[in-house]
Amino acid sequence: MKVAVIGAGSFGTALALILNRNGVPLCLWGHDPLQAEKIRTTRENAKYLPEFPIPPEIEVTSDLNQALSRSDIGLLVVPSHAFKQILSQMAQSAGASSLKGLISATKGIERDTGRRMSELMSATFPGLPVAALSGPTLAVELAKGVPTAVVVASPDQAFAELCQKLFACSRFRTYWSTDIVGVELGGALKNVIALASGICDGLGFGDNSKAALMTRGLAEICRLATACGAQRDTLTGLSGMGDLIVTCMSQKSRNRSLGERIGKGETLEAILKEMTMVAEGVKTSESASLLAVEKRIETPIILSVYNILYKGQNVVESMGALLSRDMKNE
């Protein structure tokens, strides 16, 4: 089966490399014609994933119709704020007529509606099976072939198992699930907790602090996601706890790194101006806070991150407020 990888950032490029190693024919699409042409001619994504050769078997293009033409699966790896727009462009492309399913590897929530990426895919391409891929997946490590494990979820079990076979290899162990709600929300919400983890690092807090924050953060993820229909076991698995651990702990994590800079006193505006890659947790902190209000779920860590980023709340006062909340049972 041919796959159209929609999104030539670091994660999209890393997933393209994995599929290529599995012998899957594919086309890598990037929205910037100059960037796509540079990748095609130099066979390297120097901007987002340098020093990893792009094999000649991987087509590279900025022409969406060309990318989708004769492709069986569309794998979307684009920022959540651009997801709906890209889907709309895909729907208008004649090449999309060959698609037999869609996979999202985007870890975010639509800001205004609180919809997950799979819901956006189903709304744009009704009738097509959809899936979500998530787990501890730092792009650089994927490109290096460092072993990890992920989960791919779809309400259509047959499609989930098909996607599993596309990605599974000795260094990329792939599980399947039908709990797409849990897989998507686990992957999206952990980015907000990773921002809080980074803020702790920036403030000079220790490992005890981070362990406590991650544990209580996971509790918030579980409360909010299960209120949306997720299964609790999913959130203690690869797309929940697994992704949470690596994103909160790794020096390679862009969400944790952004949070650290916030904790050291830098402004969000200044940090975002310097970043070439997207830290999904920034926008997700807002959409998750709105979703928590809608579902009447208590999420103090997520709300604190939102207030720090968007309301100008002092980070020290915010952390103090979390610690001084009313005593309760765990």
Give the burial class of 55: count Cβ atoms within 10 A of its Cβ; 0-12 exposed, 13-18 middle, 19 or more buried.
Answer: exposed
- Quick one: 106 and 204 in the same domain? no
In a domain, 329, yes or no: no
Q: Are residues 242 and 130 in the same domain?
A: no
Q: CATH no. for residue 107?
A: 3.40.50.720
Residue 189 is assigned to a structural domain of this protein: yes
Q: Please count the CA atoms within 13 angstroms of the CA of 8 that sit on its side-chain side.
A: 30
Please check whether residues 8 and 134 belong to one and the same domain: yes
pLDDT tens for each residue of the chain, 330 residues long: 999 999 999 999 999 999 999 999 999 999 999 999 999 999 999 999 999 999 999 999 999 999 999 999 999 999 999 999 999 999 999 999 999 999 999 999 998 899 999 999 999 999 999 999 999 999 999 999 999 999 999 999 999 999 999 999 999 999 999 999 999 999 999 999 999 999 999 999 999 999 999 999 999 999 999 999 999 999 999 999 999 999 999 999 999 999 999 999 999 999 999 998 889 999 999 999 999 999 999 999 999 999 999 999 999 888 777 777 767 777
**Domain co-membership, 111 together with 188:** no
- Looking at the fold, whether 296 and 218 belong to one and the same domain comes out as yes
Contacts of 317 (CB under 8 A, 6+ apart): none
Measured distance CA(79)–CA(129) in Å, rounded: 21
Same domain? For 28 and 173 the reply is yes
Same domain, 228 and 251: yes
**Around 169, how many Cα atoms within 13 Å sit in the side-chain half-sphere?**
17
Catalytic residue from among 107, 190, 210, 283:
190
Query: Is 273 in a helix, a strand, or coil?
Result: helix
Last residue of a domain, one of 118, 145, 178: 178
CATH code for position 293: 1.10.1040.10
| 190, 214 Cβ separation under 8 angstroms | no
Q: What is the pLDDT at residue 112?
A: 83
Q: Is residue 294, in this structure, part of any structural domain at all?
A: yes
Task: Tell which of 178, 207, 236 closes a domain.
Answer: 178
Say if CB 137 and CB 243 are below 8 A apart.
Answer: yes
pTM exceeding the 0.85 threshold for the entire prediction: yes
Residue 47 appears among annotated catalytic residues: no
Instruction: Give the pLDDT score at 146.
Output: 97
The pLDDT, as a whole number, for residue 326 is 67
Q: 311 in a domain, yes or no?
A: yes
- Give Dmax (Cα) for the chain: 61
Instruction: For residue 150, give its domain range.
Output: 3-178
